Amino acid sequence: MVFPPSRIPDTTASPSNPPAEARSEGRVPLAVGIDIGGTKVAAGVVDGRGRILAELRRSTPGRDARAVEQVIVELVGELAARHDIEAVGIGAAGWMDLAGERVVFSPHLAWRDEPLQATMESLLDRPVLITNDADAAAWAEWRFGAGRGHERLIMLTLGTGIGGALMIDGRVERGSFGMAGEFGHQIIMPGGHRCECGNRGCWEQYASGNALGREGRELAKKHSPMAAGLLAAVHDKPKDITGNVVTELALAGEATAMELVAEVGDWLGLGIANLAAALDPALFIIGGGLSAAGELMLEPARRAYSRNLTGRGYRQEAVIAAAQLGPTAGLVGAADLARTRLGAQPRPGGRGA
């Protein structure tokens, strides 16, 4: 992440990993993390060890940006009445500018080139950091979860699409224009399924919860005998077959669902091999709703990765591991980024943030 120079006394230093706070018992400042999803806005008070001390949720009020801002004000006000909050981190799907001041585009919300940081700082009367939700989740896993001790990692959150973030030397790499990490839109099948981005054959059309649901529905609509278990689970309504439905059936041992999940794992591993060829991280962390499938997906992903990796047999292979923080990673990461980047207190051990 890159933030306005006035906010960063020393941009070359990074917070410790594992967090220094985990080793000392001194008072650590608190921050609120906000995770704006398509259906829910979650807000939580997070301490220096990544623990959520209090959490509130509201429905996302449609696409109306002003109404979303008002919900954030209410949630922060409610939490600040009971906790000493020094900064607020707001994470949402979308592209943020490199300065961390504006939301360039957010798919679920009406923000278009919106100066959200200034707006929210004036409404909340506190320092505010805005961040992409996948970047926030990567930060949280690096600080408190599966990424501890790794200096170079890629986080992939598999849900409706693929959220991605690249961490190098303890910072989220945003690229030259703030758009790095859009791994889900690497074209993996030219002429393939149409993607929301407008292109065809994007990776997220093959290795996401949405892809899993689509494959299940397709099978059911063909009246394949293989689809009997899927159809029984949705009372013969193919349109009700979602990625979650298929995942749950797979975890319960339904053979076709397990096969569909493994297929998604194959695509996942293929895309990861491409990323390894370009970026060579030691660790890929897999989070998001679809990661509930666990080893049913990760094991085929590892095999496909090894099968497609360039230089295989002559290089070290990256670890492909499940995320550890679950669905609150984005909230925890947004709060911790805000606290470590914007907090008034010096970092424990005197390290700048």
Q: Looking at 163-171, 195-203, 243-251, 303-311, which segment touches Zn ion (CB under 5 A)?
A: 195-203
Interface with Zn ion (CB under 5 A), residue from 202, 220, 249, 283: 202
- 3-class SS of residue 16: coil
Q: Does 197 bind Zn ion (CB under 5 A)?
A: yes
The CA–CA distances, whole Å, from 207 to 38, 51, 261, 263, 298 equal: 20, 31, 9, 9, 12
CB of 133 to Zn ion, least distance (A): 17
Tokens of 342: 């914007």
Q: Looking at 22-30, 41-49, 177-185, 343-351, which segment touches Zn ion (CB under 5 A)?
A: 177-185
Q: Does 28 bind Zn ion (CB under 5 A)?
A: no
Distance CA 345, CA 85 (A): 12
Interface with Zn ion (CB under 5 A), residue from 185, 217, 302, 339: 185
C-alpha triplet 121, 127, 128: angle, nearest 5°: 70
Q: Which long-range contacts (CB under 8 A, 24 or more apart) does 169-172 make?
A: 169/14, 170/14, 170/15, 170/17, 170/142, 171/1, 171/14, 172/1, 172/135, 172/138, 172/139
Of the candidates 94, 99, 114, 264, the residue with the CA atom closest to the CA atom of residue 182: 94
User: Which 112-151 residues touch Zn ion, going by CB under 5 A?
Assistant: none
Q: Looking at 63-71, 167-175, 183-191, 235-243, which segment touches Zn ion (CB under 5 A)?
A: 183-191
Distance CA 250, CA 223 (A): 19
Residue 20 or 195: the one with the smaller Cβ distance to Zn ion is: 195
CB of 160 to Zn ion, least distance (A): 12
Q: Looking at 190-198, 293-301, 302-310, 345-353, which segment touches Zn ion (CB under 5 A)?
A: 190-198
Continuous segment of H or E residues that includes residue 90 = strand 85-92
CB of 182 to Zn ion, least distance (A): 8
Interface with Zn ion (CB under 5 A), residue from 2, 195, 226, 319: 195
Q: Does 93 bind Zn ion (CB under 5 A)?
A: no
Residue 208 or 247: the one with the smaller Cβ distance to Zn ion is: 208
Which amino acid, 128? V
- Strand stretches in 133-204, DSSP E: 152-158, 162-168, 171-173
CB of 297 to Zn ion, least distance (A): 21
Contacts with Zn ion by CB under 5 A: the residue count is 5
CB of 199 to Zn ion, least distance (A): 5
CB of 194 to Zn ion, least distance (A): 9
Q: Looking at 50-58, 124-132, 198-206, 316-324, which segment touches Zn ion (CB under 5 A)?
A: 198-206
CB of 197 to Zn ion, least distance (A): 3
Distance CA 203, CA 195 (A): 9
The CA–CA distances, whole Å, from 112 to 60, 115, 230 equal: 17, 9, 40
Residue 185 or 341: the one with the smaller Cβ distance to Zn ion is: 185
Those residues whose C-beta lies under 8 Å from the C-beta of residue 180, and which sit 6 or more positions away, are 166, 173, 174
CB of 159 to Zn ion, least distance (A): 14
CB of 280 to Zn ion, least distance (A): 24
CB of 196 to Zn ion, least distance (A): 6
Q: Looking at 52-60, 81-89, 201-209, 314-322, which segment touches Zn ion (CB under 5 A)?
A: 201-209
Distance CA 145, CA 150 (A): 11
Q: Looking at 31-39, 178-186, 217-225, 299-307, which segment touches Zn ion (CB under 5 A)?
A: 178-186
Sheet with 52-59: list strands edge to edge: 52-59, 40-46, 30-36, 85-92, 128-132
Residue 214 or 347: the one with the smaller Cβ distance to Zn ion is: 214
CA-atom Rg of the chain in angstroms: 21
Answer yes or no: are the C-beta atoms of 5 and 75 closer than 8 Å. no
Residues in touch with Zn ion (CB under 5 A) = 185, 195, 197, 199, 202
